[in-house]
A and B are shown apart, each in its own frame.
Chain A
Amino acid sequence: MLRFILTRLSLVIPTFFGMTLLAFFLIRLVPGDPIETMAGERGIDPARHARLVQEYGFDQPVLVQYGVYIGRVLKGDLGKSIITQAPVVSEFGALFPATIELALCAIVFALLLGIPAGIVAAVKRNSVFDHGVMATSLTGYSMPIFWWGLLLILLFSVQLGWTPVSGRLSVQYYIEPKTGFLLVDSLLSDEKGAFLSALKHLVLPAIVLGTNPLAVIARMTRSAMLEVLGEDYIRTARAKGLPPLRVVGVHALRNALIPVITVIGLQVGVLFTGAILTETIFSWPGVGKWLIEAINRRDYPVLQGGMLLLGVVVMSVNLLVDVAYGLINPRIRQGGH
């Protein structure tokens, strides 16, 4: 097992360095002088320009610059935001819980709806319900979520007035961040009604962000269940006279869930992509919105650091899923890759 984990880890390290290379060189493709870009429209006097060139090491050969960059990255220094002058890592750290909270709720929504829908569709194969699930899932998969979000706002916030249009919490509440997850923090605080407010703010963004994963999970559960339901041991279980609910819910589901879990792991990247759009629509103060704002302000260190940090998060989650998968399934462990 240790060998398996080490093999996986050794595959991750070159990917990490590749990502730093990509982050380093992509930013260098920005046309124009980097110092002048940082200075923006105000301009900069030549003495300060020369000092900054030296400070940032732009007068060194590219490889040396990359070496310096890697050294800083490994020490956890991803540079400072041009606009706020705050370290990129701490800005990311402050906003990331909001994105995680949103993403977790989205995936829970997708699981709660997607797995039962997939199971029932598989058990009642070719029924109206099955066709309905498949059609809905294809639509959900094809959905431009930025539009879906606007439609939900139109219906639930504008027409019905059930949910707020944007943000994480109504302005009358102030919650001291402890965990960074507002749902938890508001429960821990004394503010009455704050939890409900946080929940109301969260519902629509979570549905929007969960739509794509929901479609994928429902489809995957259905096809995995169909495969498992055709196996001999299911026939044996049925023949033994076990109640159908037990056969489907215990014997079949347990085995069908393995591919579904893998798919959930792969959804992490999809969730971050969706979070960028969802956070923009709902003014959700997470890393997605932060990155889009960084682009509009031409804040390149934030862009570079944010990309690397999100990449590392996705990479780590993929690694964890891989390892967890190896723990559950010995065949993977022994079969190498």
Chain B
Amino acid sequence: MSAVLPPAAPLPAAPPGPLREFWIAFSANKGAVMGLAVVTFLLLLALFAPWVAPHAPDVTNSAAFLRPPAWQEGGSAQYLLGTDAIGRDILSRLIFGSRLSLSIGIAVVLIAVAIGIALGLVAGFARGLTEIAIMRFMDILLTLPSLLLAIVIVAILGPGLVNAMLAVAVVVLPHYVRITRAAVIAETSRDYVTAARVSGAGTLRLMFSEVLPNCAAPLIVQASLGVSTAILDAAALGFLGLGAQPPSPEWGTMLADAREFVLRAWWVVTFPGLMILVAVLAFNLLGDGLRDALDPKLKR
């Protein structure tokens, strides 16, 4: 019982700042770091597409229809991943396609987050009938199968990239509204909000500069996971012929074009889908990592 206690570990000089703390938690997750790396790579690819891509995305070569990838018999180094049915370079189209898919993913999430925060704040602050109306409407949107709703919206607005983005944004909207409302209700009962209210802060000030910053963590997590959903849903619409229209090199649209060649040209079908999978997987890994790092409560 009289054993000497081990010397206490020296206290760290200062606690790590919030950013550093976040990075320590985030980088412990290998998958998340990998996701971040892939996302960064895709962003760079999209940004520098005209310089990276060996060909223009829509230049056709009538001498090279359905040319297989370079490593296969009949392929050439000129077209690393082969060409499609009208002689366009698949690699270049994929690289330019990353511009479309990433901007779709990010734009959809931005639209949904902006509207979702607004509706969620209103529902959380107003309560009563307004809240019931907003939340019931969100329940209805959630009840309908997501792609079905998106398809109906696009069918009505007309197929195209912008309408597909709007449709997907409507479909994912309920998640953001629910998260914001739940966070607002949890936060408004806290003392700091009461203090701000007592010292005369108006509703708008309470909403945006007191409560909203404290709801950021779950919204950031949902947004990063939401990018992957948006890319996937927009690609699905493209595949059904309702999203970006040919000859745009959107990955889902490319797959739709390639469908009839599935029997004789595996590469026109394989690579666009692989890009969708890689992008979606990367954003999912990133989102999982962000969730674990930002919100330890949610960690499983």
Contact = CB atoms under 8 A, between A and B. Distances in A.
Contact of B147 (A22, A31, A151, A273): A273
A66 interface: no
A29 interface: yes
A292 B240 contact: yes
A5 interface: no
A291 B143 contact: no
Contacts of A151: 269-270, 273
B240 A147 contact: no
Contacts of B146: 269, 273
B28 interface: no
A269 B285 contact: no
A19 B140 contact: yes
Contacts of A295: 151, 155, 242
Contacts of A142: 228, 232, 277, 280-281, 284
Interface stretch (B62-70, B105-113, B206-214, B258-266): B258-266
Interface in A129-154: 138-139, 141-144, 146-148, 150-151, 153-154
Interface in B137-194: 137, 139-140, 143-149, 151-153, 155-158
A188 to B, nearest CB: 31
**Interface of chain B: mostly helix, strand, loop or mixed:** helix
Given A18-B137, A144-B236, A158-B262, A26 B152 contact: yes
Contact of B262 (A143, A153, A276): A153
A48 B134 CA distance: 42
Given A29-B156, A307-B148, A147 B280 contact: no
User: In the complex, which range does the number of interface residues on chain A fall in?
Assistant: 35 or more
Contacts of A226: 300
B236 A154 contact: no
Q: Report the contact-size class of chain B (Cβ under 8 Å from the partner).
A: 35 or more
A96 interface: no
B276 interface: yes
B277 A147 contact: yes
B235 interface: yes
A27 interface: yes
A330 interface: no
A49 to B, nearest CB: 22
Contacts of A273: 145-148
A260 interface: no
Nearest to B157: A29
Contacts of A141: 284
B205 interface: no
Given A29-B156, A138-B31, A147-B269, 12 more contacts: A15-B139, A15-B140, A31-B158, A146-B235, A146-B236, A147-B277, A148-B273, A154-B266, A154-B269, A291-B148, A292-B151, A314-B144
Interface of A: 14-15, 18-19, 22, 26-27, 29-31, 138-139, 141-144, 146-148, 150-151, 153-154, 158, 223, 226, 269-270, 272-273, 276-277, 280, 291-292, 295-296, 298, 303, 307, 310-311, 314-315, 318
27 contacts: A15-B139, A15-B140, A18-B139, A19-B144, A22-B140, A26-B153, A29-B157, A141-B284, A144-B236, A144-B273, A144-B280, A146-B252, A146-B255, A150-B259, A150-B269, A226-B300, A269-B143, A269-B144, A272-B145, A273-B147, A277-B239, A295-B151, A303-B155, A307-B149, A310-B144, A310-B148, A311-B143
